[in-house]
Amino acid sequence: MPNSVNSIVLKLFTTKESLKQHLLQLKASNKTIGFVPTMGALHQGHISLIELAKQQNDVTVCSIFVNPSQFNDPKDLEKYPRTIEADTELLEQVKADILFYPGVSEIYDDNEQWHLDIGETEHLLEGEFRPGHYQGVTQVVYKLFNIVKPDTAYFGQKDYQQFLIISKMVDMLHMPVKLIMCPIKREPDGLAMSSRNIHLTADDRKHALILSKTLNWVKDNFDSHNIPALKKEAGLMISAEPGVELDYFEIANGDDLHQADKNAKTIVALVAAKVGKTRLIDNVVLK
């Protein structure tokens, strides 16, 4: 017999008003809200964020919204994987409480043009290769934070630069939310989990391993080599891999993503490359 006492039903909201009303009631009874914003095509990386949110909060909200304003390439937006049925099943399995799944017109008015100036960090690395990307990210996260008003929001280290940008926005605007960065979930062979991995052909999948392999090599050799030598060797390793086209490999100060020297408090190696037709990113904290 099903145990109805323990069964938790995922509540689905598609409008911001209905979600706000529901959350108001929960907050009135002092429930804490953990929030995991996603673009769907959920995998174990997303699920690890949801599990942590569940451990640390009374109520866990996951949003699935493929945010048009963060795609500088319309074709990339069009082919972004959308798997809402499988996503809903996963969220039920992991016992998330609430799914917010709005349409575009629920989030944006026609032709919305405003942006937040977060400063230099948004124009480096990903910002350089995807102009306007972080404007879109801050727009949507600002809006989602205002709808959900979470106590704590969970983001992956996988998008290291995104975490820095959102932290900056939260500081600048004094938004009352705590941010937590969660470790990168990887496939057993080292490939960082990503919704985009679905697009990799069998050959791409093999070649894609060069990214995590190179990051690991840099981590293992960090103490014995200087930074220019590490960067040079990493660039050579990736460029030698068939079917892989490097956008950048950077060893950066973890606080602002400018080029690091070895005295920096936090140092991160970050990579972006096209593997076949699919653009992947990955990183590792070196110090």
- The site for ligand AMP (CB under 6 A) is made up of 38-39, 45-46, 48-49, 155-156, 158-159, 182, 184-185, 192-195
Which residue number, 43 or 231, has a Cβ lying nearer to ligand AMP? 43
Nearest approach, Cβ of residue 37 and ligand AMP (Å): 6
Q: Cβ neighbours of residue 257 under 8 Å, at least 6 residues apart?
A: 121, 124, 125, 161, 164, 250, 268, 270
Instruction: Find the helix packing angle between 133-148 and 16-28, rounded to 10°.
Output: 50
In the bound state with ligand AMP, the residue whose beta carbon lies nearer, of 17 and 73, is 73
3-state class (DSSP) for residue 181: strand
Q: Is 46 a catalytic residue?
A: yes
Instruction: Give whole-number Cα distances, 246 to 208, 241, 274, in Å.
Output: 11, 10, 6
Nearer to ligand AMP, 192 or 200 (CB): 192
Q: How near is the Cβ of 5 to ligand AMP at its closest, in Å?
A: 32
One-letter amino acid for residue 163 of the chain: F
Integer Cα distance of 230 and 250 in angstroms? 10
Q: Exactly one of 46, 133, 207, 225 is catalytic; which is it?
A: 46
Among the residues of 29-159, which ranges form H helices? 44-56, 74-79, 84-93, 104-107, 126-129, 133-148
Minimum gap (Å) between residue 39 Cβ and ligand AMP? 4
Distance in Å, CB of 282 to ligand AMP, minimum: 9
Residue 285, phi then psi, degrees to nearest 5? -85, 125
Yes or no: say if 222 and 215 are a contact pair by the CB < 8 Å rule. Answer: no
Give me the least distance between CB of 181 and ligand AMP, in Å please: 9
Nearer to ligand AMP, 168 or 185 (CB): 185
Of 190 and 276, CB closest to ligand AMP: 190
Distance CA 249, CA 54 (A): 35
Catalytic center residues: 46
